[in-house]
A = this chain, B = another copy of it.
Amino acid sequence: MKAEMIAIGNEIVFGHTINTNASLVAQQLEKIGIEMCYQSGVRDRYEDIANVLEIALKRVDLVILSGGLGPTKDDLTKEAVFEYFDEELIFNETAMQDIKNYFEHVQKTMTENNMKQALFPANCIILKNICGTASGCLYQTSDKKFVALLPGPPKELRPMLQILIDEHLKQKVEGVYLTEDIKLFGIGESEVVGIIDEFLGVFENIEIAPYVAEGCTTIRIKSFGINKEEAHTRLIPYKKSLEKCLAPYIIGNNDKQIEQLVYENLEKLGATIAVAESCTGGLLAGRLINNSGISRWLKESFVTYSNEAKSKYLGVSIESLKNYGAVSEEVAEEMARGVANATNSDIGVATTGIAGPDGGTEEKPVGLVYISVAIYDKCYTYKRLFTGERQEIRQHTVQTALYYLYKQLKRLENE
């Protein structure tokens, strides 16, 4: 089954909002074997919506539209779509009840405008919105294509998409698709392609594709079978052969974020951690705290942006700061060891670098970063030179620090 995603809304097309729904929908559909082939975005206009819908229906089997289901006059996705299909919008009791329940739950009063949100064509399936008032729907066209309308806000779209997939789309896909990821660190996409070249197109009903995201290269393996067992049987030996070729670079084999892998390894080791950040200024701790259970392992962390703070809280020596500068291997190591000491943690991670745009010199250019991981009695310090703007350099530093930290945790676990 081939799909297209259409995002509707001036805020998307004019660029005020980044369209994150397209990515989410594509990834979730891929898991059940529906291939996203096109993305579109249009303004809140009747003729534009009808125009892109018509194009989409010519080239795919499933069209997913997001946005424009709100209670205001600007929200006209439902009106435009069903005018196109020549379907009358009538009052839907299920949708109305869902809206009423939602208002009751959040203890707010329903307005007259919300009534509009209960209008749907007679022959469609209502999709419940558990985080808002905009119900969605799934509609089948006269030539057996599917059109789903979902709300725009990601927190409303996400749970509704899951309902759509689990309760309605899954059973329309013939056979079962399994996907597995192999995440790699320390190797570029083109090198990966070189190594896995012999795997491409060799097996039937199995596909691999490398892609780069968040600073690491991932190989996604997709296996097809008439049932789960067949897809699984096909996937496993293939995956194992790939893993054998790529062993030194593998950092994980699922779609978990790197901070989640770090967290799981901290749990396994029962190791406590603290972070001392200069150029990343809190972002690394912020990523670790994405894990809701991290409080057992991370109790406190420091943003030591000034030299004084580096000495005061982490015990970085004034000599090192003077002789080598705040952005140096020596200071990074003292920071990492220092934060572990100061907080009585098993692991200390430190970042120090020149994020720019100012502050670079010929010797220490913008983008120069040191990352240090002090882990029990050992300490590993890495020097990197990143490019890009200030925010890109800082984000890249955080991501890379998480990878190095994870590598060291895995090494410990295997020892």
- Interfacial residues, chain A to chain B (CB-CB below 8 A): 7, 10-20, 22-27, 30, 36-43, 48, 51-52, 55, 59, 72, 131, 155, 158, 190, 193, 209, 211-213, 218, 220, 275, 277, 279-286, 288-290, 292-295, 298-306, 308-309, 312-313, 355-359, 387-392, 394
Contact = CB atoms under 8 A, between A and B. Distances in A.
Contacts of A190: 72
Given A303-B282, A355-B292, A209 B10 contact: yes
A299 B289 contact: no
Given A16-B213, A281-B282, 9 more contacts: A15-B23, A16-B27, A18-B18, A155-B392, A275-B303, A281-B285, A281-B289, A282-B301, A300-B303
30 contacts: A11-B213, A13-B26, A13-B37, A14-B30, A14-B211, A15-B36, A16-B27, A16-B212, A17-B23, A17-B212, A18-B22, A18-B23, A38-B40, A39-B39, A155-B387, A158-B389, A275-B303, A281-B301, A282-B282, A282-B285, A283-B283, A286-B286, A292-B358, A294-B305, A298-B303, A300-B305, A300-B309, A301-B302, A302-B303, A303-B303
B20 A18 contact: yes
A40 to B, nearest CB: 6
B26 A14 contact: yes
A14 B211 CA distance: 10
Given A282-B289, A286-B286, A292-B358, A13 B41 contact: no
A390 B291 CA distance: 9
Q: Nearest 3 A-B pairs (CB), nearest first?
A: A15-B26, A281-B289, A282-B282
A19 B23 CA distance: 8
A391 B290 contact: yes
Interface centre among A16, A213, A282, A309 (most CB of B within 10 A): A282
Nearest to A307: B299
A283 to B, nearest CB: 4
Contacts of A158: 389
Given A190-B72, A302-B300, A40 B40 contact: yes
A25 B15 contact: yes
Interface centre among A48, A158, A286 (most CB of B within 10 A): A286
Given A18-B20, A22-B15, A282-B286, A390 B292 contact: yes
A382 B399 CA distance: 33
Given A18-B18, A22-B41, A23-B17, A306 B295 contact: yes
A394 B387 CA distance: 28
A306 to B, nearest CB: 4
Nearest to A390: B292
B388 A155 contact: yes
Contacts of A40: 38-41
Nearest to A26: B15
Given A16-B211, A19-B22, A39 B303 contact: no
Contacts of A59: 51
Nearest to A71: B190
A352 B156 CA distance: 25
Contacts of A279: 289
Contact of A306 (B288, B300, B306): B300
B38 A38 contact: no
A55 B59 CA distance: 13
B39 A19 contact: yes
